[in-house]
Structure formats: C-alpha cells, structure tokens
C-alpha cells in the first residue's frame, strides 16, 4: 500500500534527528501596492480545493561548503530570490478566505502578508531523502 511520507516522518523512520535552524517569514520585495488585492477562485481552482496545498522541500548536500557559508550566503540568497519571486506573484503570499456571503473563496493579499520558510539540517542519508536510493 502507498504511504504518504512527509519529510519529518521520513526522518523519524530513518532514526535521524532533524535540527531546525531557522523559521522565518519572507515577504514580497518592492511591492507597489499599499492596498489589499483580491483574486477570486476560478472553476479550475475549485477542483483542487480539497487537495492539500503543495509544500516544497529543497535539499542541499553541503559537501564542500561550510555551515557559515550556508548561513551567510546560501540562505540569504534563497530568501532574496523567494522575496523577489513573490513580488511578481503576490497571491502566493496571500491567504485563502471564504466569506460566508460569497459563493466561492478568494485569495486575498495584504501588504504585510508573507510565506513561511524553514531551514533545517539532518544527518540522514541524503540519497534516501532525495530518492536517489530506494527506501528500505
């Protein structure tokens, strides 16, 4: 049978520790709008409303880079890139709101909205986590 494994559950199955280094909020950069923006759901959006939202996991294997390089260069660059991307796609930083008076939900972005970014490390087998090697 198929078993959906989140990264956290996978790490626990592998008897590995997960050390959360940082949890931060990343907001869109240089947004010109000081007002909230509303984007109504389309018919196609409604088809996917019961499916869990996508949560992207990006793995980096630091073989040559030091931890201080990762913390001082890679993480700030990831945050900057995410912030810049969000400024072009503001609804991705917004919230799903379904007012009882509306027939469909809306995605509402307000100027202080942001997305969550978690940076963590693990001693788990990188090949298993990335799917390069079959899970036992």
Mean pLDDT by 10 residues, the chain (136 residues): 53 66 92 82 84 74 82 93 94 90 90 90 75 66
CA 95 – CA 109 distance, rounded (Å): 6
pLDDT of residue 106: 92
Rg of the chain over Cα atoms, rounded to whole angstroms, equals: 18
Domains with residue ranges and CATH for the chain: 7-129 (3.30.559.10)
In this prediction, residue 1 carries a pLDDT of 39
What span, in angstroms and rounded, lies between the C-alpha atoms of 56 and 58? 7
Judged on CB neighbours under 10 Å (0-12, 13-18, 19+), 109 is buried
Q: pTM for the full model? A: 0.75
- Cβ–Cβ < 8 Å for 117, 25: yes
Residue with tokens 């240089």: 30
Q: How far is CA 82 from CA 27, 32, 50, 87, 92, in A?
A: 8, 17, 26, 9, 11
């Amino acid at each position: 049978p198929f078993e959906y494994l989140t990264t956290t559950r996978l790490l626990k199955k592998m008897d590995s520790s997960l050390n959360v280094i940082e949890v931060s909020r990343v907001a869109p950069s240089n947004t010109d709008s000081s007002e909230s923006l509303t984007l109504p759901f389309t018919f196609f959006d409604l088809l996917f409303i019961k499916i869990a939202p996508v949560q992207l996991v990006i793995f980096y294997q630091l073989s040559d880079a030091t931890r201080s390089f990762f913390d001082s260069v890679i993480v700030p660059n990831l945050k900057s890139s995410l912030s810049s991307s969000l400024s072009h796609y503001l609804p991705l930083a917004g919230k799903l709101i379904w007012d009882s008076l509306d027939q469909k939900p809306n995605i509402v972005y307000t100027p202080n909205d942001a997305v969550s970014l978690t940076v963590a490390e693990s001693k788990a087998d990188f090949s298993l986590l990335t799917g390069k090697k079959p899970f036992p």
